[in-house]
Structures are given as C-alpha cells and as structure tokens.
Amino acid sequence: MTDIDTGLNAWQMTTNHNRMIELQDAALTPKDGPVELAFYGSSAFRITSPMGVSVLIDPWRNHPARTWDWYFHDFPITEVDIGVSTHAHFDHDALHRLDAHVLLDRLIGMYRFGDMTVYGLADKHAVNSSCALYDFKKVHEKFSGVNIEPPDNPRSWDHCLIVVETGGMRIVHWGDNRHNPPDAIWKALGTIDIALLPVDQSQHVMGHVHTEAIIQRLAPRVVVPHHYYIWDVLQRQSTLQGAEQWVDARENVEKIHGPRRVYRIEEIDKLEKAVHFFGDHVAFDKEAWLKTGR
C-alpha cells in the first residue's frame, strides 16, 4: 500500500480551528496597533496582526529528490493561523510543515480575516542570472531541457507577490519575484511600508543592482533582507552566501538582536529605506531542531 497518495497532511494534525471561531466572532481591534515580524530563516517570515492573527509566508524544505539538500532538516512543524507560499520551489513551498487553519498556495487575489488582509499579485520568478555565481538558467536548460524564460515558463517559475495589510501598514513579501514586473504590478503594489527582499552575496535570486532598482522604485520605509546563508540552518551546498556585506554598505541599518521585531505605524512613518537585518537569528529552537529535525 505504499503507492497511496495521502495528499495534504492536515488530517493528521490533532489541533482544531476553535481559535479561528473565536477570532471570527471577536470585535475588531483599532486599525493601528503593534505588528510583529518574525524571521524563520531562508525566506520564511511570520507576521502577527494587532488582533493576534498570524500568517507565515514561504516555509522551506529540502528538495524531495534529496540529491542536493539545502537545509540540515526540513522546516520545523509550526503552528500558525494562515500559511502562504509565493511559488512552487522547495525553499518556499513547504505548507505541509505548517499546522495551519488556512493554506494559501500561490495566492492570486485577496483573502481577509480579522484585522488582516492578504493580497496576491500574479507575476514571474526572477530569471536574470547575469549577476549570479552560476547561470542557473543555462543549468536548467542543459540538464532538464526546460526554458524558464517567461512567458512560456513552467509553473514552478511563476510567482506571486504577497502583500499583507494590517496595523495600518502594508508589507510586501517579494519572494523570488523578478525585479522588473510590468507597470500594472507596481501600481497595484502602491505604498509599501516594509519590503522583504532577497539579498545574498552570491546574488542567487537577483543581483544587488536589481535589488537596488526595486528599492528605488518601491521606496519602502523599511527593507528586510532574506534568502541568505545561515551557517547552522543552511548547508554550504546551497551555494547561498551571507547578506552582511550588502547590509554593512547601507547607510541606515538596524541589526536586530533576536528573531522578532515589533513595528508600529507611527514609528514606520519616520523612516525612509532603512535596512533591518535579522542576521542568524531565527524564531525556532535551532538546537532542538538540529538534534531532532522537528
């Protein structure tokens, strides 16, 4: 019976959605309030609204072929209200590792619950490898026979930009999206307070010049780097490198001393293109995870 497709694993969870019943019946909190941003390594972030509604974006795993592990273990099983994946790549799509009430896989459109709204904008994955250590576009075509160049790319090279609106602020998770989406996408993004952007010294997803182009056009109040190497989470064979060199070259930098940072709109309004960097801090017990893989 080993060929049975078990599908999503929510049926194996012992939790239930009593919490969501309580939240949907609760009176809404004021529009403005504290919003917590927590970093889980790679491109995974949890955003918690003033009301306490939480969304975790882009949990990661190792590639199922297990011939090129990036992580020492898969993403730890994590409780959260809403899980979101920006695209169907292994380092962004481990929604099955979340004990979540709601899963939004490659969201296109809008989802609203409590004092949080999540928007998904359909676009394309970055494919400009001109600044990367290796030409991943050439690698895919040579060994897989797949052309990842849009518009005729396969599904895994589609992408959804995710915007979370809560606490009076708007947060965009850029994921691995291309740096030059059409004008309609920029217009839909509108004013962004916090931009979660991929940055690492190998320039794996995009070159620093491309990141800078996003920052200049988007003009976010805060930039938070992700998708970089963390020595006790990612393995060297991931080919990723750190983000410290890019961060240290910025003018207005806050190195966060922990895996969480609380934001309020009145604080955000005073900033302009500030960089907030979590470094090696992640919001789970690394020691326990390294020992047990959970």
Residues 16 and 19: their CA atoms lie apart, in Å, by 8
Q: Which band of pLDDT confidence, cut at 50, 70 and 90, is reported for residue 107?
A: very high
Helix intervals (H) in the chain? 18-25, 136-144, 183-189, 208-218, 244-248, 265-268, 286-292
Lowest mean pLDDT: which of 73-77, 132-136, 167-171? 132-136
pLDDT of 250: 96
Q: Which band of pLDDT confidence, cut at 50, 70 and 90, is reported for residue 174?
A: very high
Residues 176 and 140: their CA atoms lie apart, in Å, by 17
Residue 1 has pLDDT above 70, yes or no: no
pLDDT of 26: 80
Residue 5 has pLDDT above 90, yes or no: no
pTM: 0.95
Residue ranges covered by each domain of the chain:
33-292
Q: Which band of pLDDT confidence, cut at 50, 70 and 90, is reported for residue 132?
A: confident
Instruction: Select from 167, 183, 172, 286 the least CA-distant residue to 222.
Output: 172
10-53 pLDDT, tens digit each: 888 899 999 999 998 887 766 789 999 999 999 999 999 999 99
Paired with 263 in beta bridges are 35
CA 74 to chain centre: 16
Any idea what DSSP says for residue 46? E
Burial letters for 212-249: b for 16+ Cβ neighbours within 10 Å, e otherwise? Answer: eebbeebebbbbbbbbbbbeebbbeebbbbbbbebbee
CATH of 33-292, one of 3.60.15.10, 3.40.470.10, 3.40.718.10, 3.40.50.300: 3.60.15.10
What is the CB-side half-sphere exposure of residue 20 using CA atoms within 13 A? 14
Tell me if the bond preceding 151 is cis, omega within 30° of 0. Answer: yes
